[in-house]
Structure 1
Amino acid sequence: MDYRKHCKMDWARILQNCIGMLLLAHMVSSESVSEVTFSVKEEEDASVSIGNIQQHLFPLVSNGDTLTYKFLENNLYVTLDEITGFLYTTKHKLDREILCPPDHLGDCVLQLNAIVMPDKYFKMIKVNIDIEDINDNAPYFLENNISLSISENTPVGTTIGIDHLALDKDTGTNSMLTYLLENSDGFFSIALEGESLSVIIEKPLDRESLDVHQMKLIATDGGHPSLSGTAALNVQVEDANDNCPVFTSTEPILVTIPENAAADSIVAQVHAADADLGSNADIIYSYSPRVSAASRELFSLHPSSGIITFSGVVETETPPEHKLSVFANSAPCPPALAVVIVYLSQDTNQQPVIDISYIASLDNDDVVLKENVPVNTAIALLDVIDPHNIKGSLNIEGDVPFILKPHHGKYLLLTSKPLDFELDKQYNVFIVAQDANQKSVLNKRFIRIRVNDVNDNAPRFSQRSVEASIEENNGLDTPLIRLTATDADSDQNGQVVYSLGPDAPPMFAINTSTGELTVSSVLDREQQDLYNFTVVAADQGTPSLETVTTVLIRVLDQNDNRPLFITNEFTFFIPENFPRLGEVAIINVTDADTGPNSKVMVSILNSTVPFVMDNARGTLRCSSDIDRETADIHEIWMVAIDGGNPALSTTAKVTIFVLDINDNPPKVLLPKNNFSCLPIPASTAPGATVAEIYAIDMDAGMNSVISYKIIGKEAPGLSPFKIDSLTGNITLQEKLLTNHYGMHHLFIQVSDGGLPKPLQSTIWINLFVNETLSPCVLNTVPEGFFQEQPLEMQNLCGRESSEIQCLPLTFIVGLAMMTASLIFFVAGICMFRKATVSNLRNMNRPAHEDAEIPLKLNQNYDTRDWVDVQ
């Protein structure tokens, strides 16, 4: 048998096969990811069946194969039976309102990823679970107390819109609301008009009878059974000028005074009441046209206070009795009437007179002072004039911020404390003249002092800085916080207007009147998680005063970013016999979220590979022995899952090429053992191949290049046989003679081309030279041998070969080594270019794209054994 037919191969074919194997190693069959959808009602108890994956995707499985199912990510709400493919609820109930925020549009779907094993059925399945709403949320109002002001003269049937719709976290009919008003006593009703609520006046209102209507606003949803929420609705009835002044008594007021009473002494005071409020209750007092001119000159009527004072000028013709008819005026009412009858009695003892010279400005007989006047501001100069030239003393009644200070025999009325409009807007100052012993009041004068407001108070925020938070991916015009500043001044001096400082980003806005801060665009925490700016509150005084507060807006994270590998396809090279738990590579994964949403766990999907993921260090480790001769390429599918709820995941492919090391010595396949014996006919012609050694090496590259050499022999004489170092063919060098008859033992060393030290195997080649072709039987081999001389080159080229004859073999060996080197060089360039292009594609690929998982993860190779030809 010619063994060389089974062992020889031309180098072109070797190159073609090697390149083909390299290309095959990079080919992976793939199949599109499948998708199934189930539905389940929220709040179901544990162990409620949701659906079955197998019935949707694998109704028929042939060959008796058993499928197993597994979720890629951990979740609290759904379990997957690994054998049957059924989905069940867990003790953690599905709450649609938690899993899908209120601003979520469309169906609420829990998205999970599952895989089906074994490898030949391997499939990635997107499982969509549509969570159906139940009526488990009652309507609610954003404000528990709703206030509304309505004038009491508003006509019946008037509709007043209120921006206080109730909210319901449910959907569909479960969130369709109807409204009812309780405790309205028929005064009001409620109506839903489009997207707003309206309060309708059903009966006339009367503030004087009932100024506040306290009612309950009820919102009821459309669920079965229905749920409801309530809020207090308080209607403040504002005053209208619908009441007229009324004097407390209809009887005339009788007053007797001495005709020599001091000038400006108080005679009487009339008082009318108006049931209205504010300016509607303002009353102006005046004399009736029937009051005589003489009485008007003798008795002055103050229009605001109703105080009647005596002028002190009594003529001889002045009548002793004066009837003073006083009107209380308040438009549009007719005047109310009160009558004061004053009798002048004759008295020989004249009383002292208090004379007032005003320094401050007057307005309708009232002294007007600004609140910021300094202390000791002069208001008036007073003097006590006694008809008998007997001076009395002046004093101020009560506790008021004014004093009398002697001044060149007279008295100055001065401010004694700072005035504050916000505390007191008006002071009634009574000045009395007393006798020398200060026991009796000789005369009394009244001065009304009005305090006018000045813009001396800036608006004030309750806090110097305010913090608020909002989740990213918010809706448009979402309210954040309501800022409130107060101003102690009045009117426009106390009217506060809000504005944003110049450092505020453009997406924020503030209501100038209410101070409500809103955001007009969608925020992304990954772009900016903190906003710090100022808000200004300014009053409308002249000049305007303002104050500033700092607003800090924190953007809270949502799990809206999937974990990302630095590339979707990794390529690594490791030598075989890599140490157990050795670090193969660093697997870099990032997640743009924060907190639990950014905590990523990386795991290996195909669990049969000899590698494990060390999440503590973020490295891929070897978990068992690596043998290139068993598998020279390992393809690993990895999934990165974050800690969000629900979790997000990303997959990546890792290809590990196992590099060869010289760990396998050559294995001699032919002959089978040291006791194989081959008969050699004596008639064999010189140059004929008499035997063939065939050995293989499981290593690759130069580690698998085999050479043969005779290192020892035992023969009847000089051995006529030589061996080809490349092919292992043993040929006859010379014609066989009688002295060659017998058993020739050749000790052959088979070496590989490994560096730095090759590995060897040895075999005894036993050749029996005789005249006949009788079977050759051998039971023993030589126990020792002698080293063949001369040098190894003689065994390679033959004892009689010249240097020129060796050149073809040397050339072939060199050519083989160069060709093998070229193959690995080209393969390395191809793999490097492929990895580079793959990385560039991954950089341009959208961040959410996963590596595509093929249907089959392992490629099976079938290699036939060498035929035992002996």
Structure 2
Amino acid sequence: MLLAEFPQVQAEQETFTFPENQAVGTLVTTISGSSARGGSLSYYIASGNLGNTFIVDQVTGQLSVGQALDFEAIQKYVVWIEARDTGFPPFSSYKKLEVTVVDVNDNAPEFEQDPFIAEIVENLSPRKLLTVAAVDRDSGLNGQLIYEIIEGNTENSFSINRATGEIRSVRPLDREKLSRYTLTIKASDKGTPLQSTTVKVIINVLDENDNAPRFSQIFSASVPENAPLGFTVTRVTTSDEDIGMNAISRYSIRDTSLPFIINPSTGDITVSRLLNREDTDRYRIRVSAHDSGWTVSTDVTVFVTDVNDNAPRFTKPSYYLECPELPGIGLKVTQVSATDPDEGSNGHVFYFIKSQSEFFRINATTGEIFNKQYLRYQNSSGSSNVNINRHSFIVTSSDRGNPPLLSETTVTINIVDSNDNAPLFLAPKYFTPVTKNVRAGTNLIKVTAVDDKDFGLNSEVEYFLSDESKTNKFRLDRNTGWISVSSSLMADLNKKFLFKVKAKDKGNPPLSSEVAVEIVVTEENYHTPEFSQSHMSVTIPESHSVGAVIRTVSARDRDAAMNGLIKYNISSGNEAGNFAINTTTGTLTLAKPLDFELCQNPEDYFPKVLENAPSGTTVIRLNASDADSGPNAVIAYAIQSSDSDLFVIDPNTGTITTQGFLDYETKQSYHLTIKAFNVPDEERCSFASVNIQLEGTNEYVPRFVSKSRSPSKPRSLYVLLTQHWPCNQLLQP
């Protein structure tokens, strides 16, 4: 076979350069040739057609781009073209063509992943977080990349290396402010025109326990004082800007003395010991909340609300009062007081008397007790054991709870005699002459004041010389009222001594009255006044007018001058003051109107007793009767008035006995008015007149009267006037 027989092949150009974006179908070149054997040639791509990128027309030999060029895949092609003749066997020749592909920026960068995720703990100093990487299959500038953050970089918290894509934090991050950042990163090549792409970078900021728990509010609650153990009072809650374990709080109460406990997990505060509002009505509980790194505290105020669990309590278990007589109605007597430690209506106290009292009422609001009747002390010296002046009743105090609670106390009011009556002298003035040679120590005259409306110490009388009446000539016995001579009167003939005697009771404060006493020093008083009659009886009609003369009594005295002057007075029997006598003339007149229908005759008794009878000698026994029965018929006796203190009466039996020395030569007769009365109603009474005659004994031998005789007072004659007197009244002196 000769070489000349192989086809001759030639191409217009053997090397070519195309951009990778050269259009498909572009003619690369035309292969032509001839064959010495004759006939036409057929053209084929023998090799190097990677990816079947090129095609050749078998007839014309035109080589064109059959597939898109891709620099990133194949940068250069070496294609062998076969020219084949039609002989047999066919002979072929080959032509080498070189096609260089030039890069075009037709590839955008591509990131390795999307999205990128990174984590960083808050509060860390600036540091690398991650590197975002992208690839660009282009080459040269077309494949060189630059990176930038185009979105999501809040407060410029991050930076990125433009060449490497390394992302760093710029400053410490605060998860509580922003817990996630979503950055948009752009990667761009340097081609023309440039190609770029973006990717999301998610940066999660991890929590650090850099925030303390915060209580969600100021806590306060109310709990009834009878709340049972375990009762939930309130729940405390906290919030924490941290998350996870850093945000879980546990609760505690440091003060274990408080009657509360707290659930460490839920914050529920419950009652651990029984409460009593009256002891403590509010609590301040210091509650602490702890997370893994912080502890905070707050005060929880718990108000204990009232339950009506206390009855009112009186300030005293019982009340006792010595109350003076009350002459008016509606006067405050005393006051009770009760307190209730409960609150509101549960502690609002009001009062009432459990069983209505006849004598007292109570102010429901203040507890003040007032009298409903006049309260007078009544003499209870009879045989009854009942104290008629003592009043006891029960006062109840109640609150206004539902239901109300009650308590009681006993109030005892003992009516005591008020010292509201001053002693009254039996005579408006006292006068006596005294002989100049009377012995020192001799009793001259007795002043008598009675305080018979009061009782006890209020009725006990003492006598005093008024301050301006002090004298060294006379002495006053403070207990008996006897005025006696204390020094010689020889130099005081015809001299008048005028002074005042004060009668003062023993009440508190004491009351007193005064009377004038006149003593005239005379010569020897030898004779006693003598009445013209020793006994007179007068009967007058009840219509007798006041001031009318009843009778004139007459007496004479054989002494001269002062010793012969006679002064008249009613010494007894005129206790009611029905009669008056002219002290100078002896004229007896009617002082008050008389009423027969309202009167009963007083009984008159005329017992006799020997002088010098021993003390305790029975004079007479009086016996009064009462038509009533039982307690209403109990009778007691008392001396209503007397001209002497030498007699006493047994209040139960009515027996009158002597006390002291009886001397006929001093006094021959005595008059007593006796009162018989019911116990305890002393207003129901009757009176009797007892005229005691003293019988003398032969105890002296006859002797001449010496000038030393000095009678202690003028002689008197008792006059009994018979008439129907008003009930419960007798003649007063």
Q: TM-score, normalised by structure 2?
A: 0.49
Q: TM-score, normalised by structure 1?
A: 0.42
Q: Which one has more relative contact order, counting CA pairs under 8 Å at least 6 apart?
A: 1
More helix by share: 1
Higher Rg: 2
